[in-house]
Amino acid sequence: MDILKLFEQIRLTATPLVVVRTADPAACRVRLTRAASNVAGTTAPAVLSWDILRGVVALTDAAKALVPSGKGAVPPAMLLRHLDDVGRDASLHDALIFTHNLHLFWAKDPSVVQGIWNLRDVFKAQGHTLVMLVPDGASIPAEIRDDVTVLDDPRPDADELRDIVLSQFKALRETGNRKITDPKPAAMTRYVSAVSGLPAFGSEQAVALSMTSKGLDQAALWDRKIASLEEIPGVEIWRGAESFDDLRGVDSIQRYCEDLVAGEPTNLVVFLDEIEKQFGNVGSALDSGASKGQFGQVLSYMEDSKVDGLMLVGPPGTGKSHVAKALGKLAGCLVMALNFSKAKGSLVGQTEANTAAILKTITAIAQGGVLFVATSNDIGALPPELLARFTLGTYFVERARTITERAAQWRVQIESFGLDGKQKIPTGGDNWSGRDIRNACRLSKRLGKPIVDVVGRIVPSEQVDREKIEALRQQADGRYLDAGRDGLYVNNVVNVPAAAVSGRRVRTRDNRES
């Protein structure tokens, strides 16, 4: 149910205690106040607001009589005692009280938790509602967890973002630029896409800062959005130029990604690199990645939101991360790289709050079109319940396995680094990964020497960790799909020429070898 419709129901049923998790408490307060005023059969409510610095402020004329005497800050415990008195006044009904950041106190002050609980029955009897505005993911004290109704305020939808964009064009006209006109539908769609995922104020701020005398600078808008998203702990945004044209030996996964993008809209690719380092052994003594709480949040999100996931397994340097980036370019969308270990916080509830902010942002940007892509060098360390969420399949990404594929990889990297395209390409190297080839070209560029003169300074990654990589191939054999060829991966294709050799060696008795 829409949060505003749900809040109207809360007011109609005299629900006394409500926690609203929101990224924009000011905008949320305005919308909830409007929803309360829309409730049929009630008069305009008395609306109060409290924070630790401004104290209690009347937001409507009917609330002025409820403001405690004196000016200045009102400690939270004193506020709650005052509200208890308000609740016991039988002449007062249907007041709406907002508090800001009360979570900062309920974790440290038992009187705050007790004061909130004390309001439950007296507020219910008189139709009052205490709305506690807290950040995304804030945890509720166990003592009142069963007594409060928790709402999650979503990020602005497309219609709300459209209104925000239009309001900034109107503001620009009102400041003297009367020639500027509202954006056409196609441009508006691009602008809305550029700010999706941001809170209301963040969206307005990004649009305002990107306005020019000629209109909205879309490139600047994207830059501001990305900068804002990367302020969320654990989030990094990729908008690189990587494509499948830069890869070789991944023909099957490329065709599959093209089919996925063509089948349903993909508005966001969420990338979890080396997922075993984030969720492997989670909750155990060996766990050094995400917390058990984060693991539960991600599992629940993927299940509840019906998120599809694609798992890429293989040795290091074979192009798994590049596939995820190329998928984003193929879909024409952002790639959001997540590291839940970096989303951990030192304060109580901070880790869950950061994780909730990430997941809520994903929902707002994706608008139902999200693909999770994870890479792993050790899939055996992952919990089965997590693997079950990656419903689009597990693909094994191998190094180039034919002479032709390796030659093509050399040409791609030679061109990428601006090297001499006519120079001799090293022969052999059947155990070289794409990363090894790129490193050789990078070294050639740095030293100003031909590739054949520098390859001796590159130790292939497979040679460094030969036993582990071979064990990974054995694990994938017949179990995972092959990223290079349709069907299951088979661990017996090594250094095979692109075309099979045909013909027959024929001798007669007259010319046989003696």
pLDDT digits (tens, 9 = 90+) for 270-305: 999 999 888 876 655 445 456 788 888 999 999 999
Confidence band of 45 (pLDDT split at 50, 70, 90): confident
Give the residues across from 311 on adjacent strands.
374, 394
In this structure, the answer to whether residues 199 and 287 fall within a common structural domain is no
Could you tell me what percent of the chain has a pLDDT over 70? 91
What is the per-residue pLDDT for 509? 56
Instruction: Reduce the DSSP state of residue 468 to 3 states and report it.
Output: helix
For the cut 80, the answer to whether the pLDDT of residue 373 exceeds it is: yes
- Cα–Cα distance between 124 and 406 in angstroms, integer? 72
Amino acid identity at 496: V
Into how many domains does the chain fold?
A: 3
Residue with tokens 């439950």: 120
What is the residue type of 510?
A: D
Q: Are residues 280 and 338 in the same domain?
A: yes
Domain final position from 210, 229, 248: 229
What whole-number distance in Å separates Cα of residue 400 and Cα of residue 406? 6
* Residue-level pLDDT at 501: 39
Model confidence at 503: pLDDT above 50: no
Q: Assess whether 225 and 240 both reside in one domain.
A: no
Q: Are residues 225 and 249 in the same domain?
A: no
CA angle 347, 236, 332 (to 5 degrees): 145
The CA distances from residue 512 to 205, 502, 507, in Å, are 86, 21, 6
* Residue-level pLDDT at 454: 92
pLDDT greater than 60 at residue 497: no
CA dihedral 459, 462, 465, 467 (to 10 degrees): -140
Q: State which of 92, 123, 152 marks the end of a domain.
A: 152
Residues 107 and 214 in one domain: no
Same domain, 49 and 79: yes
Q: Which domain holds residue 245?
A: 235-514
Domain final residue, candidates 206, 229, 252: 229
3-state secondary structure 257-269: HHHHHHHCCCCEE
CB 381 within 8 A of CB 274: no
Reduce the DSSP state of residue 99 to 3 states and report it. Answer: strand
Say if residue 352 is in the same domain as residue 473.
yes
Both 134 and 30 in a single domain?
yes
**The pLDDT value given to residue 400:** 75
**Token code pair at residue 226:** 């990305």
**What rounded mean pLDDT belongs to the chain?**
87
Coil, helix or strand at residue 154: coil
Is residue 200 a contact partner of residue 25, using CB atoms and an 8 Å limit?
no
Alpha-carbon span 314 to 124, nearest angstrom: 59
Q: Is 51 helix (H, G, I), strand (E, B) or coil?
A: strand
**pTM for the predicted model, two decimal places:** 0.77
Q: Give the per-residue pLDDT at 19.
A: 97
Check whether residue 389 and residue 333 sit in a common domain: yes
As a whole number, mean pLDDT of residues 314-319 equals: 86
CB 39 within 8 A of CB 11: yes
* Share of residues in the chain with pLDDT > 90 (%): 55
Q: Are residues 23 and 148 in the same domain?
A: yes
